[in-house]
Structure 1
Amino acid sequence: MIRKTTPEQAEKVNAAVDGRILHLKYIFYIYPIKSLKMRYLLTAGMLIICMFTNLEVMSQQTDNDVLTIIHQRKSVRQYQDISVPEDKIETMLRAAMAAPTARNIQPWQFYVITSREILDQLAGELPYAKMLSQAPLAIVVAGDTPKGNPNEEQIHNWKLDCAAATQNLLLAAEALGLGAVWTGVYPYKARIAAVSEALDLPSHIIPLNIIPIGYPLLDDRPKDKWDAEKVKWVE
């Protein structure tokens, strides 16, 4: 994904590079160098340093961007009537599949729904997914239960892995300028049946949730969920 440099990023880079250039001028002033060749070499060296300074500042900004995306993520339930490009859909799915998974079993399956008929059908059958009637796209995150349950002790791993994949998907949607919301399907039997029937899922594939996705219609704001009372320090 190609992202435009923000004014804040540009300001940081320019300040760092200006500092290196000022340092170069100081060297030339304090230590006069008569050799033109040596001046060229020093100038080239400083340009290389400036280049790496640029990369270093941008790398730090990227780290900050990750935290910003995490804190900016919110549930978006109203969407514009604009389709989502396939490359953005693939980016979200790749992020989802980068989630942690017990023993690397990867017991997830993803169903990308763009059918207006199916979206409207599920909007009428799922009590907390009415926004599907407005969304141009939805992704069902489902668990392949035989693959996710290699033995009795690990019977719930598919739920954990698919939940982690869902969070990655939601963060990727936020990073791409999209709005999304997690609407639960599992463990409600009626909802599982509705999604399974609409998508003709085999019995061993269980839908965990369905994620309506689209370009936000409103300027939704994230909620500050920080609560220090929920943190216990064990020392």
Structure 2
Amino acid sequence: METMDAILTRRSIRKYLPKPISRDMIETVLKAGMNAPSAGDEQPWHFIIIDRRDLLEKIVEIHPYAKMLKDAPAALLVCGDLNIPKLKDFWVQDCSAASENMLLAAYDQGLGAVWIGVYPAEKPVTEIQQLLNIPKNVMPFSIISIGYPEEEKHGRFRYKVSRVHDNAW
């Protein structure tokens, strides 16, 4: 798949077939996340693979926008380690870049995926930390729900000239 084609046609997929995802595919998605750019090349991320049904269902109870995890065979939690960056607060951009790379890598492999934001919502952050025994210095940032798509969505053209400004507003 060509890069621009992937960027322009990838869509959020929330319905999945009941088919497991291979460990190799999950690791490919994780490799894409770990190859994202990061401020000062500090790479402040950690990832948790979640494929236990009981944990996925518990996250659905914790997070009001995670209903798609009921049917997802797996999810990947992207976390930022607050003890790593010397460039404070850039971990958010770093984990965002990792999350986007992971969405594109999933799509490239024929998987459907959706970004579920966790940070900065205090309740989901705290409850997910507790559920998965995450240290306090590691912040749950996003959940990437992945699976073989049960729905098909086509790309949308979103380029808006009115949002582009040359040299000043």
* TM-score normalised according to structure 1 size: 0.69
Question: Percent of pairs identical after alignment?
Answer: 38
Distance (Å, rounded) in 1 between the aligned partners of 2:20 and 2:127: 25
2:143 matched residue in structure 1: 210
1:55 matched residue in structure 2: none
Deviation at 1:94, TM superposition (A): 0.6
| SS at structure 2 position matched to 1:196 | helix
Asked if 1:175 corresponds to 2:108, the answer is yes
Asked if 1:119 corresponds to 2:69, the answer is no
For structure 1, the residue ranges without an aligned partner over 5 or more in a row are: 1-61
Distance (Å, rounded) in 1 between the aligned partners of 2:164 and 2:115: 25
Contact 1:140 / 1:209 at 8 angstroms: preserved in 2?
A: yes
| SS at structure 2 position matched to 1:226 | coil
1:135 matched residue in structure 2: 72
Q: Deviations over 1:92-148 (max 9, x none)?
A: 111111111111111000001001000011011100001111100000000000102
Give the aligned residue type for 1:111: I
1:83 matched residue in structure 2: 20
Asked if 1:146 corresponds to 2:83, the answer is yes
Which of structures 1 and 2 has the larger relative contact order (alpha carbons within 8 angstroms, sep 6+)?
A: 2
For structure 2, the residue ranges without an aligned partner over 5 or more in a row are: none
How many positions carry a matched residue from both structures? 168
Distance (Å, rounded) in 1 between the aligned partners of 2:10 and 2:152: 12
Deviation at 1:79, TM superposition (A): 0.3
1:220 matched residue in structure 2: 153
RMSD, aligned α-carbons: 1.2
Give the aligned residue type for 1:196: Q
| SS at structure 2 position matched to 1:94 | helix
| SS at structure 2 position matched to 1:79 | coil
Distance (Å, rounded) in 1 between the aligned partners of 2:71 and 2:54: 12
Match of 2:37 among 100, 103, 106: 100
Give the aligned residue type for 2:156: K
1:72 matched residue in structure 2: 9
Deviation at 1:234, TM superposition (A): 2.3
1:109 matched residue in structure 2: 46
Distance (Å, rounded) in 2 between the aligned partners of 1:186 and 1:127: 13
Larger Rg: 1
Distance (Å, rounded) in 2 between the aligned partners of 1:68 and 1:184: 25
Deviation at 1:157, TM superposition (A): 1.0
1:190 matched residue in structure 2: 123
Contact 1:72 / 1:174 at 8 angstroms: preserved in 2?
A: no
1:163 matched residue in structure 2: 96
